[in-house]
Amino acid sequence: MAIPLFSLQLRHSIIPHLVTMGKYDGSHHCLTAATSENKASLLNILIHSPHRPEKDISYLNINQKITALLAGKAIPNDEKDILVVGTVGSVLAYNVDLNSDLFFKEVSKF
């Protein structure tokens, strides 16, 4: 029987399959998940950073339905992960540590 190592109460509705882990500062793991708020068509991204004492949860507002979420390396020899967000009509590469967009591209629907 599996025994959990810890439990976390986020008090948000997490969208299934839209969860990832990233080291946005290059050393600490952060839980990242798409959440649904009051409006069903608008979603937010919640970033839980337990190592930040002043604010352990931050949000990224997305004005489209999120369809994909991925954290990973994009720049060679850089320890920091970036967050890639896919929506119905766009792809966004986001630097969580610097709070800035790296890349944004609108895409056509199939």
In the chain, % of residues over pLDDT 70: 90
- pTM value? 0.84
Any idea which of 40-49, 54-63, 82-91, 95-104 has the lowest mean pLDDT?
40-49
CB-based contacts of 95-102 (< 8 A; 24+ apart in sequence): 95/24, 96/22, 96/24, 96/30, 96/32, 96/47, 96/60, 97/24, 97/25, 97/26, 102/74
In a domain, 18, yes or no: no
- pLDDT, tens digit (0-9, with 9 covering 90-100), for 68-101: 999 999 888 999 999 999 998 999 999 999 999 9
Q: How many domains does the chain have?
A: 1
Rounded Cα gap, residues 28 and 50, in angstroms: 9
Rounded average pLDDT over 36-63: 77
Rounded Cα gap, residues 96 and 83, in angstroms: 7
Q: What are phi and psi of 98, to 5 degrees?
A: -95, -5
In a domain, 58, yes or no: yes
Tell me: pLDDT of 59 over 60: yes
In a domain, 33, yes or no: yes
The domain of 70 spans 23-106
